[in-house]
Amino acid sequence: MSIATQDINADINNIRHKTEVFPEIEKIECELHNALSDSQGAISQMCSHMAGSGGKRIRPLLVLYCGLVFSNRSESLEKAAVAAELIHMATLAHDDIIDDSQMRRGKPTLNTVWGNHSSVLCGDYLFAKAFGILSENRLYKSLSLMIEAIDCMCNGEIQQAENRFNINMNLEIYYEQITRKTAKFLECCCKSGASIANADELQTAAIGKYGLNLGLAFQIIDDILDYRGNEDIMGKPKGEDLRQGIITLPLILLQSSEKYRTAAHDIINRKTICERDYAILGDLLVNTGSIEQSHKIALSHIDKALLCLKVLPDTPYRDALSNLAEMLRFRDN
């Protein structure tokens, strides 16, 4: 079997598996395809590459389920869901340029294939597509929530860049950073769905808190995977955070151990991290229990997220939201 055929089979299996657990993904894929169908030339190729290379579709699922828990299926919900994925794709296109990443979703990144110049523009195009969908469908509350999320994300990314190789990085700064860069977006996706379904204030607050905690757990696990994940399953390389000097939860926890703080600081202060440094730190993070402790913290956010669901109507879609959170406990990609 050629590599291309293997890739296609892997994608199909991936989508089939996801669709069995969350059947609504099929509709999202279809809407995504429609949303990008009028793109042309290189932009069209880049969009197909990104949309066709999988992805968990967590954000559009959150928009959909957070609406369906309160109301019937509607075109507005589907449009808001696809807008969330388009925005996510835009941020990934830009993030991979900023991080100089080579692989994403098991495929070469847009910047690797088409270069930074075209990839920046593709990201902008995807943002524009998303805003177009939200404004054409008069989904103004969703529009303002997406703007809020992007605003936060930009500030979180800048804060992260400012704290590169900062050995004084602490829990407070880390939480602020991951809230801004990741968790707020998930919170806003949840609120976007709930707003379309006319949820009341109390329920919207609960569903937002669910999304926020899910987002915190999501990013903490992403940060753990950067040390301990399987690259083939993740579809992106490990060690990127440390290479860029991004100090994440496992490393912050390690520094609370006086015995290993100096060793960690020596490596961080070198600023050019070699394979050996990464391996030494990785072992230290495991042996000191920093990885395990980080995972426990992630799980505690999943528990908090699940608690928030209790005030929502008891429907199959509340169960779907609960399943999404439960599956995150075993996130490996």
* C-beta of 204 vs 219, nearer to Mg ion: 219
Residue 153 binds ligand IPE, judged by CB under 6 A: yes
Which C-beta is closer to ligand IPE: that of 70 or that of 227?
227
Count CB atoms within 10 A of the CB of residue 302: 23
Min CB(95)–ligand IPE separation in Å: 4
> How far lies 317's CA from each of 64, 85, 255, 312, 330, in Å?
9, 19, 41, 10, 21
Residue whose beta carbon is closest to ligand IPE: 55
Question: At its nearest, how many Å lie between Mg ion and the CB of residue 214?
Answer: 16
Neighbours of 176 (CB within 10 A): 13
Assess 61 for contact with ligand IPE (CB under 6 A): no
Cβ 119 to Mg ion, closest distance in Å? 13
63 close to 190: Cβ distance less than 8 angstroms? yes
**In the range 209-238, which residues lie near Mg ion by CB under 5 A?**
222
Residue 91's binding partner among Mg ion, ligand IPE, none (Cβ under 5 to 8 angstroms by kind) is ligand IPE
DSSP state of 273: -
**Of 199 and 223, CB closest to ligand IPE:** 223
**311 is written with which tokens?**
């005030």
108 - beta bridge partners?
103
DSSP 103: E
Locate tokens 């060690």: which residue? Answer: 239
Residue 160 and residue 177 in contact, taking contact as beta carbons nearer than 8 Å: yes
To Mg ion, the closest distance from the beta carbon of 25 in angstroms equals 23
Site string for ligand IPE, 163-182 (x = CB under 6 A): ------------------xx
Residue 224's nearest CA partner among 301, 292, 324, 283 is 292
Cα distance between residue 228 and residue 38, in whole Å: 41
Residue 312 sits in the site that holds ligand IPE (CB under 6 A): no
**99: contact with Mg ion by CB under 5 A:** yes
In 3D space, the residue among 76, 51, 55, 54 whose CA is nearest the CA of residue 64 turns out to be 76
Does 95 bind ligand IPE (CB under 6 A)? Our answer is: yes
- One residue of 49, 79, 105, 191 binding ligand IPE per CB under 6 A: 105
Cβ atoms of 176 and 140 within 8 Å: the answer is no
Stretch that binds ligand IPE, among 37-45, 88-96, 162-170, 201-209 (CB under 6 A): 88-96
- Among residues 105 and 301, whose Cβ is nearest to ligand IPE? 105
DSSP for 106-136 reads TEE-HHHHHHHHHHHHHHHHHHHHHHHHHHH
Tell the smallest beta-carbon distance from residue 237 to ligand IPE (Å): 9
Q: Which stretch binds Mg ion (CB under 5 A): 47-55, 93-101, 262-270, 325-333?
A: 93-101
Are 137 and 211 contacting, i.e. CB atoms less than 8 angstroms apart?
A: no
Direct distance between the N- and C-terminal alpha carbons of the chain, in angstroms, rounded to an integer: 25
Candidates 91, 111, 142, 288; binder of ligand IPE (CB under 6 A) is 91
Closest approach of ligand IPE to the CB of residue 53, in Å: 8
Q: Rule CB under 6 A: which of 207-226 touch ligand IPE? A: 219, 222
The number of C-alpha atoms within 13 Å of 218 and in the hemisphere containing its C-beta is 22
> Which residues sit at the interface with ligand IPE, rule CB under 6 A?
55-56, 58, 88, 91-92, 95, 99, 101, 105, 153, 157, 181-182, 219, 222, 236
> Which residues sit at the interface with Mg ion, rule CB under 5 A?
95, 99, 222
